[in-house]
Amino acid sequence: MTIAHDFAYLRPATVPDALAMLADHRGAMVLAGGTDVVPWLRDDAITPETVVDIKDIAGFDAIDVADGVLRIGPLVTFSDLIASPVAAEHVPALVEASHTVASVGVRNRATVVGNICSAVPSCDAGPPLLVYEAAVEVAGPGGERSIPVLEWFLGPRTQALAEGELVTGITIPLPGAHGGCYAKLSRYRGEDLAQVGVAVLALPGNDYRVAFGAVGPVPFRAPAIEERLAGGGPGDADPAALDALVDEAISPIDDVRASKEYRTHMSRVMLRRSLAAAAARLDGGGPPYGEQVI
C-alpha cells in the first residue's frame, strides 16, 4: 500500500546546501538510491518530516583512485561498482559482494554508502569494507571527519553518523596484491539477505583479514582468528581450533531466515572455504571472482 506519511522533499545541489538543510530540519532522512528508504516510508518504519535527496550533488557518483586511495562516492551504485575496472582491480572482494546484492534492478539504484548507512547486520558491503580497512568520510556541522569502518557499525540499523552529518564517500587504502573472497549464505541462488557473510583477504606473507556479517548485531572483524591464521597456509590451522575461534567470535541469532545452529555451522564452513579461495586467488588460481564457494 501507498506511503501515507507526509514529508517535505528537498534536493540540494552542493554539500554545503545539504548540510544547511540537514541543520534546518532535524531528523531529516537522506535519500540516495532509496531502495531501503522508500519501503521504510511505506511501512512507517521511519517518519521523517523531511527527505533530503542528494542525487544532484556533483561528484558524488564517482569512483576514483588518487594518492593510493580508492574513493567511492555516496551515489555509486552496486551496478557502478560491478562495472568499474578500477574496483575490479583494487577491491575484487567488494565487487564479489556487490554481485550478491539483490538483483540488477535494485543494484542499479542501491548505493554502497546507503548499504552501510542502513547498517543492517546482514549488509553485504560491511564485511568486505572491514577487511579492506575502509573509512567513511563524513561532513557535518563540525567540519569533516573520517570514521574507520571498524568504528562505523554501532548496532542493528545504527551507525556512527551524528545528527546533521552527511557521508561524502568511502575511502579504501589500496591493498596491493591480495586474494579476496566474499561468501554469502542465502536460502537459494536467487536474491536473498545474507544469513552469514564472510569476507577474507589473503595478503602476501600469510597475513589474513577476516570479517563476518549477519552473525552478530553488526558486521565485525575477527582478530583472534586472524592471529591464529597468521604465518601459516590457509589449511595449516587446526580445524577444530579454528571452529572454536569462530564460535567465540560470532553471536548468531535464530530467526525466520536461519537457526543459530546453522549459522554457526555455516560460519565455520564458509570461513574454511573462503580462506582457501582467497589464498588460491592470491596465487593467481582459485575460483574466478563471482563464483560462490558455497
Partner 1 sequence: MTDTYVGKADEANAMETLGVIGKGTPRIDGLDKLTGAAEYVDDMDFGPALLHAAVVESPYGYARIKGIDASKAEALPGVVKVVTGKDFPYTFGMYMKDRYVFAQDVVRFAGEQVAAVIARDARTAKKAASLVEVDYEVMEPLLDPMKALADDAVLIHPDLEDYEHVPWFFPKAGTNIAHWRKTRRGDLEAGFAEADVILEDEYTVPRYAHCAIEPHVVVARLDKAHRLTLWTASQSPYTQRDVFAQALAPLGLSHKDIRVVTPYVGGGFGGKAGVSMEIIGAALATVVPGRPVKVRWTREQEFTNTYQRQGVRARIRLGAKKDGTITALEHDLYWDAGAYVEYGANVVNAAGLSATGPYRVPAVKIDSLCVYTNLPPGGPYRGFGYSEFHFGLESHITRMAQELGMDPVEFRKKNAIVEGDTLAYGEAMNPSGLIEAIDKTAAAIDWGVEETSDDPTKAIGKGLCLFWKAPAMPPNASSASFLKFNEDGSMNITVSGMELGQGYLTVMAQVASEILAVPPEKIRVETPDTDRNPYEWQTVASHVTWSCGNAVAAAALEAREKIYKVVHDARGYEEGSLYLEDEKVKCDTDPDFELPLAEFVVGGIMMPDGTYRGGPIVASGKFMPEFTSALSDPETSQGGHPNVHYTVGAAGVVIEVDRDTGKIHVKKAALAADVGRAINPVLIEGQITGGLLQGLATVLYEDMRFDAQGRLLNPTFTDYKIPTSKDVPDQIIPIIIETPQPDGPFGARGVGEHTMIAAAPVIGDAVADALGVRLKEMPITAERVALAVAGMDD
Partner 2 sequence: MKHTIEMNVNGEAWAVDVAPGETLLEVLREKVGVKSPKIGCERGDCGSCTVLYDGKSVRACLVLAVEAEGHEITTLEGISHDGLTVLQEKMVELSSFQCGFCAPGIVLSVHELLQERPDPSADEVKEAISGNLCRCTGYDPIVDAVLEAARIGPGDRG
Question: Which residues of this protein are in contact with partner 1, per CB under 8 A?
Answer: 1-4, 44, 103, 185, 187-193, 256-259, 261-262, 265-266, 269, 294
Give me the residues paired with residue 66 across strands: 69
256: contact with partner 2 by CB under 8 A: no
Q: Which residue from 174, 165, 85 is spatially nearest to 133, judged by alpha carbons?
A: 174
Residue (38 or 224) nearer to partner 2, CB: 38
| Other Cβ atoms within 10 Å of 150 Cβ, number | 14
Binding segment for partner 2 (CB under 8 A), chosen from 6-14, 111-119, 221-229, 248-256, is 6-14
262 is in the binding site of which of partner 2, partner 1, none (Cβ under 5 to 8 A by kind)? partner 1
261 is in the binding site of which of partner 2, partner 1, none (Cβ under 5 to 8 A by kind)? partner 1
229 is in the binding site of which of partner 1, partner 2, none (Cβ under 5 to 8 A by kind)? none
105 is in the binding site of which of partner 1, partner 2, none (Cβ under 5 to 8 A by kind)? partner 2
Residue (83 or 162) nearer to partner 2, CB: 83
238 is in the binding site of which of partner 2, partner 1, none (Cβ under 5 to 8 A by kind)? none
List 13, 16, 26, 39, residue binding partner 2 (CB under 8 A): 39
Residue (221 or 272) nearer to partner 1, CB: 272
Residue (39 or 142) nearer to partner 2, CB: 39
Alpha-carbon gap, residue 229 to 227, rounded angstroms: 5
Alpha-carbon gap, residue 228 to 62, rounded angstroms: 38
26 is in the binding site of which of partner 2, partner 1, none (Cβ under 5 to 8 A by kind)? none
List 24, 44, 163, 191, residue binding partner 2 (CB under 8 A): 191
On whether the CB atoms of residues 253 and 153 are closer than 8 A, the answer is no
| DSSP secondary structure, 78-138, as one string | HHHHHH-HHHHHH-HHHHHHHHTSS-HHHHTT-BHHHHHHH--TT-TTHHHHHHTT-EEEE
C-alpha cell recorded at residue 7: 514529508
Residue the block writes with cell 528537498? 10
Contacts of 139 (CB under 8 A, 6+ apart): 15, 19, 165, 166, 168
C-alpha cell recorded at residue 41: 516510508
Contact residues toward partner 2 (CB under 8 A) are 1-9, 11, 31, 34-35, 38-39, 41-42, 51, 53, 55, 79, 102-106, 108-109, 190-191
